[in-house]
């Protein structure tokens, strides 16, 4: 059954989420959240209690953490978060093993590759450049600092229009439900990865077409589908 599904996949473009898919950003994100909450007079949760904040738009995370919808308070928290993230936090980050080899293999198989992250574009590009991954992507797409395109569905729509590609030609690879929900709103094929911060149950519940437990499995799924 899996082989039949893969053989039906006619994609030529792969969108990769960033946090929890290409890199493990836990240290930087959790420390910056803790910093912002402390500056606002709150006792922050331990880092391991903030894993759920990795992936969703940061505005949503702070709204839940602070238990408020007050835009002024949320904006202040984001400003504090970014004060540390822009200079320190984005570099407190590690590549998942085999990322370069996997991307090279996928591109060698004939796919175009793009980064599609809810993280602001200005930070996403710095991270991709910092790790020397720029040559392995045809483009990097992220949100604006004001929150525009932080919702994955909006971001994917922007990519499809800007790059002039059809939904049927695209596969979204990501570790959280937001990646799957955003992709499915445009009828994209999806690969949910379990080595990041989402569970297999979360990914399946929201309709992931395939589940990959490692980077090797992503490559095998995509490269197999390219075989004549």
* Catalytic residue IDs: 17
Contact (Cβ atoms closer than 8 angstroms) between residue 145 and residue 170: no
Angle of the 26-39 helix axis to the 71-85 helix axis, nearest 10: 130
Confirm if 178 and 61 have CB atoms less than 8 A apart.
Answer: no
Question: Based on the number of CB atoms within 10 Å of its own CB, is 4 exposed (0-12), middle (13-18) or buried (19 or more)?
Answer: exposed
Q: Are 18 and 127 in contact (CB under 8 A)?
A: yes
170: its two tokens: 């695209």
The tokens for 204 are 């399946």
Cβ proximity of 136 and 153 under 8 Å: no
- 193 close to 55: Cβ distance less than 8 angstroms: no
């Amino acid at each position: 059954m899996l082989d039949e599904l893969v053989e039906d996949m006619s994609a030529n473009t792969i969108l990769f989420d960033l946090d929890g898919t290409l890199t493990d950003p836990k240290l930087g994100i959790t420390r910056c959240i803790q910093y912002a909450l402390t500056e606002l007079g709150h006792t922050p949760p331990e880092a391991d209690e903030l894993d759920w904040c990795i992936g969703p738009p940061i505005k949503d995370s702070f709204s839940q953490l602070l238990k408020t919808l007050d835009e002024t308070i949320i904006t202040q928290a984001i400003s504090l978060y970014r004060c540390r993230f822009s200079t320190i936090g984005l570099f407190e980050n590690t590549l998942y093993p085999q990322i370069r080899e996997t991307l090279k293999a996928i591109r060698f198989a004939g796919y175009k590759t793009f980064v599609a992250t809810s993280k602001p574009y200005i930070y996403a590009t710095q991270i991709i450049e910092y790790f020397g991954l720029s040559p392995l992507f045809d483009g990097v797409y992220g949100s604006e600092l004001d929150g525009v395109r932080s919702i994955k569905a909006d971001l994917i729509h922007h990519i499809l229009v800007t790059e002039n590609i059809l939904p049927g030609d695209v596969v979204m690879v990501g570790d959280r439900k937001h990646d799957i929900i955003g992709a499915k709103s445009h009828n994209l094929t999806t690969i949910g990865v379990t080595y990041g911060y989402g569970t297999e149950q979360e990914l399946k519940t929201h309709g992931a077409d395939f589940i990959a437990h490692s980077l090797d499995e992503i490559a095998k799924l995509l490269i197999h589908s390219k075989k004549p």
